[in-house]
Amino acid sequence: MQVDFYVHDLKPSAADSVAQVIGTPFITSGPVSRRVEKQLVDYFGTKYALLVSSWTSGAVATLLALGVGPGDEVLVPAMTFIATANVVQLLGARPVFVDVDPDTLLVYPDLIARAVTTRTKAVIPVHIYGQMLDIAAVRSVLRDRPDIAIIEDSAHCFEGEFAGQKPGAHSAAAIFSFYATKNVTCGEGGAIITNDSDLYHKILQTRIHGMSAGAIDRFRIGGYQHWDMQRLGVKANLPDLLAALLPPQIATIDERLPKREEIASRYEAAFANLPIRMPRRLTNSRHARHLFPIHVPPAIRDEVLALFAHRKIGCTVNYRSVPTMSYYRRSYNYRPESFPVSHDWGSGTITLPLYAALARDAQDHVIDTIRSDVVPMIDKVRSAV
Ligand SMILES: Cc1ncc(COP(=O)(O)O)c(C=O)c1O
């Protein structure tokens, strides 16, 4: 039996929405994007939302708007996707890595507080795998440093909540990814939400080269409008062609979550008494169930990946410790022991298939393979030490 790693939720009718945009003269960021931004504001309850071409371009636009540059430090978890650190490095600032909690894989506020220096300009906590961390607690440990901006990496966490609050409630901004495998997707894309009017108006410019007016405003009925470049920006806007795919997905996001929750809970129950590690589920949060990672002893991880390939089970590795990547090791002389939790988890992690269309027999195939083949491999390696 073939089990795909991921199958998206887009319906054939999505093509009609794109066709409608093609039928208008304006295919870049225009009226559709504005409607989606309003939909995001309504969903998250923040004052503003801005669509962007990816999480990465949105983060660059946000950090530019905050004035992050050479000499600045930005705290990022060691356990995340490389983009979280790369955006800081790209702007000439220093990503300062912080290790994560061994149970939840979330950064914990005390470690953040300990890494703060006079140069710290921002912190980018990550709601990894879709489990939201307590941003109010992060704000609280930084209470003496209101100048430090919290930018939530919500790439995995659209529908997640902590203590009943969604991303964006306690931070300068939260940034989402609409990449191909995300719970809301348009192939490539993203969004920024914020309550900060000054930051919003700056990002309006930094997401479009620093221009004072985007295309739709330059070509308004009534004549051409001049524009100025008031700050340095990047090209980060999302075209209406892609934005058109988003409204039905955002409208149904809460209805679609229970199916992934059911599959993830089923995995958790099946592996609970096996020697398979999983991130601990927080009780006072709503998990967005983006990815389902497990951890096996690092010595047999590649063997398990080969077994899954043999059994035709799609899987991947999300994520390895970012400071152990060659580029960061070379740049900052990190050693694997510098961030032991992230290194250990990153050396043994495997992500299992998790999506609404994952049929019951496909789930059984994954669970049975782990029970009957992976567990004996783990027992063997453990008895050898
Ligand atoms: C935690 C995290 N942050 C940022 C990104 C970057 O998102 P994008 O591909 O939309 O730039 C990803 C992408 O998977 C991610 O997993």
- Tell me: the pLDDT tens digits for 318-356? 999 999 999 999 999 998 889 999 999 999 999 999 999
Smallest CA-to-CA distance from 68 within 44, 101, 95 is with 95
The residues that bridge with 192 in the sheet, in sequence order, are: 50, 175
- Digit-coded pLDDT (tens) for 108-120: 899 999 999 999 9
Pairing mode, strands 149-153 and 173-177: parallel
* pLDDT score at 220: 66
* pLDDT score at 60: 98
* pLDDT score at 221: 62
Ligand 1 centroid – CA 81 distance (Å): 6
Which is the closest atom of ligand 1 to the Cα of 128? 1
Smallest CA-to-CA distance from 126 within 99, 102, 139, 107 is with 107
Under 8 Å between Cβ of 328 and 334: yes
**74 vs 97: CA distance, rounded Å:** 8
* pLDDT score at 132: 97
Q: How far is CA 202 from CA 126, 194, 197, 229, in A?
A: 23, 12, 9, 12
Is the bond into 108 cis (omega within 30 degrees of 0)? no
Which is the closest atom of ligand 1 to the Cα of 189? 10
Ligand 1 centroid – CA 55 distance (Å): 6
Looking at this protein, which amino acid is placed at residue 370?
I
**202 vs 32: CA distance, rounded Å:** 22
**Opening angle at CA 127, ends 14 and 359, nearest 5:** 50
Residue in 5, 54, 55, 188 to alter for ligand 1 test, most ligand atoms within 8 A of Cβ: 55
* CA end-to-end distance (rounded Å), the chain: 35
Residue in 126, 177, 182 to alter for ligand 1 test, most ligand atoms within 8 A of Cβ: 177
Residue in 80, 81, 186 to alter for ligand 1 test, most ligand atoms within 8 A of Cβ: 81
Residue closest by Cα to atom 7 of ligand 1: 55
Active site amino acids: 182
Ligand 1 centroid – CA 222 distance (Å): 40
- Output the ligand 1 site: residues, CB below 6 A: 54-56, 80-81, 83-84, 126, 153, 155-156, 177, 179, 190
Smallest CA-to-CA distance from 133 within 154, 110, 163, 162 is with 162
pTM for this entry: 0.97
**115 vs 338: CA distance, rounded Å:** 13
- Residue 22, class by beta-carbon neighbours within 10 Å (0-12 exposed, 13-18 middle, 19+ buried)? exposed
Residues of the chain with pLDDT under 50: none
